Amino acid sequence: MNEPTNVKPAGIIEKIFFFVLLLTCLTPYISIPVALFMGLAFALFFRNPYPDTSKKTSKYLLQASVVGLGFGMNLFEALKAGKEGIVFTIVSVFGVLLLGILMGRIFRLEKTIAYLISAGTAICGGSAIAAVAPIVKAKDTEISVSIGTVFILNAIALFIFPILGHTLNLSQDQFGTWAAIAIHDVSSVVGASAAFGEEAIKIATTVKLIRALWIIPVAIVTSFFFQTEIGQDLQALVYPVFHAGHAGQYFPAPA
């Protein structure tokens, strides 16, 4: 028998405040870090007024945003940045994935949660978690914990990375590569690199999107690691195919 829940639906004030923040973030006066901070503050102090709707639409909004970002990239710049960052990408993806699994065993974390966090940290945050979650048969609570952990790290990196970059006197190329390798989600990579410089955001975005393509081999490896048939989880490949298509490198930006 299900126990009654004490969670009350969001009130009219929360709904109004939600739309005020939404419209405010759409203006050119709100930067990416500020918009993220406003969203975090709202989530901490208020209830989500539209939990079901946001759950269904957030995935498509993310896809549309990254597709639009990819169309602004140039083919030759993408190939050049990808070639220069390929070694860092390979080492970081598989190195972080293996290290995360090892740390999960050391701290005796639940196997699925440890793997989801490792995949999200190694590749591209929430997108990678969403891709491998169906393969490992992850529960909603396990997915929420993993995404929450990665998003907290993203929020921290979004604010401290530009400061560290200036403190360490990094060049635009150096910071762009570092941000793409060290920060998980594409949105946070864009936000941090945009705060550092125009050239940094070009390098960071390109390397990050190319790095996201590693969801494909990681998804396949995951099916063997968890002894599942990837043919039964075709929906998990929507994200890899999406990333392969949205990379945008086949649509050079106009000069």
Residue 254 inside a domain? The answer is no
What is the pLDDT of the chain when averaged over all its residues?
76
- 41 and 103 co-located in one domain: no
Higher pLDDT, 46 or 249: 46
- 152 and 207 co-located in one domain: yes
Residue 255 inside a domain? The answer is no
CB 209 within 8 A of CB 243: yes
CB atoms inside a 10 Å sphere around CB 39: 15
- 42 and 134 co-located in one domain: no
Residue 219 inside a domain? The answer is yes
- Quote the pLDDT of residue 76: 62
Q: What is the mean pLDDT of residues 6-15?
A: 69
- Quote the pLDDT of residue 171: 92
pLDDT-derived band of residue 68, with 50, 70 and 90 as boundaries?
low
The boundaries of the domain holding residue 164 are 69-246
Residue 242 inside a domain? The answer is yes
- 13 and 138 co-located in one domain: no
What are the pLDDT digits (tens) for 191-205? 889 889 888 888 888
Flag whether pLDDT at 5 surpasses 80.
no
- 105 and 28 co-located in one domain: no
- 189 and 160 co-located in one domain: yes
- Quote the pLDDT of residue 249: 40
What are the pLDDT digits (tens) for 82-120? 555 567 777 878 888 889 889 988 988 888 999 999 998
Radius of gyration of the CA atoms of the chain, in A? 19
Flag whether pLDDT at 41 surpasses 70.
yes
Burial of 59 (0-12, 13-18, 19+ CB in 10 A): middle
Which of 84, 77, 61 shows the shortest CA–CA distance to 242?
61
What are the pLDDT digits (tens) for 164-182? 999 999 999 889 988 988 8
- Quote the pLDDT of residue 247: 45
Q: How many domains does the chain have?
A: 2
